[in-house]
Each structure stands twice: as structure tokens, then as C-alpha cells.
Amino acid sequence: MNLVFLGPPGSGKGTQAVRLAKNKGIVHLSTGDLLREAVKNGTELGKKADGYMKAGDLVPDSLIVGLIEDKIAAGDLKSGFILDGFPRTVPQAESLNEMLQKNEITLEKAVLIAVSDNEIVQRLSGRWFCPTCQVTYNYPANVPKNEGVCDHDGAKLVRRPDDEEKVVRNRLEVYKKQTQPIEDFYRNESILAEVKGEQTPDNVFKSILEVVG
């Protein structure tokens, strides 16, 4: 099963992608996670990506396409995958098609998790996570038992710097201008499957299972 997950920031695509990858025994590849790791480790890629990420802008296509190319060349995607956060622009989607064709891999579906703007700003500005175990909390829907600390290990909760409201609004704008055209790209290829993201996480997951089969 080879899939791309699409959706605005905060649509829950990361959470759902992890869950589906486990359920199907396939690889979950998040370019956001790879970039955050590169920033944390202070690699060349991380140094180049840091400023764009802090502002909520996209990292240049050339940096990202190379990352995915390396994963394909290493054979990491051979037994099925979910790409989460890639592609983010039409040129990235075109590059992905070329890379997959070269390696005789077929993309089966692009799963779009649709969520309204207001819901997204509310969700992201209330999103906190545990830096130790990575569990995510959301105010007001899913709050920790003790204000500001993780239920599992007592670590002090932190937020992603790009979840500040101003940056969230920019990320949404960027999504609309640069990423949303990909929906038509995959619609034209007849592989776009849309799922309603404003349901409980369990019901979103059920809807995803229905469309991916």
C-alpha cells in the first residue's frame, strides 16, 4: 500500500498516518519530523531549513526532494509507505511521480483530511506535547491531569515554535497557496480520496480505512 496524506496543518494527518502505518505494517515518513530532527542535530540541512520552519514557510523544493530520493534509493519505501507532509507543492508532486515511476512504484491513493480554517487555528494554538514521550495534548479537548505536565512521565509540556497563532495563520496561507493545488493534481489522476477531519480521531481513522480498503 503506497499512500500520500494531504491536509492542512493540524488536520490530524500525522496522528492518523502513524496509526495507519502501524495497522498496515508499512513505513510512515514525515518530512516535518525529518527536518525537525535535522534542526535538532544541527546538520547542514537543518541549518538551511530552520529559518523557513520558524516562519511557517516551506523549505525549498530542492532540499526536500533530495531527502525523499535518498529514502527511495535506500529501498526504505519498497514494502509500502505513507508520505506525510510530502509533497507540499505541485513541483514536489511531479518530482515524486518521476521518482516513483523510475523505481516502478505505483502511488495508490492521496488521502485528504479536510478541516475548516477556524477549527485549525483553534486546534494548533491549543497543541502542546511532551518532549520526552512525544504524547500530544490539546486544550480544551484533551488536557493533562496536572496543568502543563505530562500524565505519563511528569515532563514539562512544550509547544512547537511554529504553533504560535501568527505562525499558524501563515502556515494556513502557505497551505492554501502552495499545497492546495496538489488536491487537483491528484484529483486529475483519479487517486484523491477525501475524508472529513472534523470527527473523533477514531471515526477519522475508520473513514480512512474505508477509503484505502
Binding residues for ligand AMP (CB under 6 A): 9, 31-32, 35, 52-53, 56-59, 64, 85-86, 88, 92, 162, 171
Cβ distance to ligand AMP smaller for residue 32 or 80: 32
Q: Residue 213 Cβ, how far from ligand AMP at the closest point, in Å?
A: 25
Closest residue to ligand AMP using C-beta atoms: 32
Give the C-alpha separation, 29 to 85, whole Å.
8
Q: Residue 52 Cβ, how far from ligand AMP at the closest point, in Å?
A: 5
Give the C-alpha separation, 77 to 45, whole Å.
21
Give the C-alpha separation, 156 to 151, whole Å.
10
Cβ distance to ligand AMP smaller for residue 179 or 207: 179
Cβ distance to ligand AMP smaller for residue 55 or 149: 55
Q: How far is CA 185 from CA 20, 88, 140, 182, in A?
A: 23, 12, 36, 5
Q: What 3-state class would DSSP assign to 181?
A: helix
Region of residue 29 (phi > 0: left; psi between -120 and 50: alpha; otherwise: beta)? beta
Could you list the active site residues? 13, 88, 127, 160, 171
Q: Which three cell numbers stand for residue 98?
A: 518521476
Q: Residue 92 Cβ, how far from ligand AMP at the closest point, in Å?
A: 6
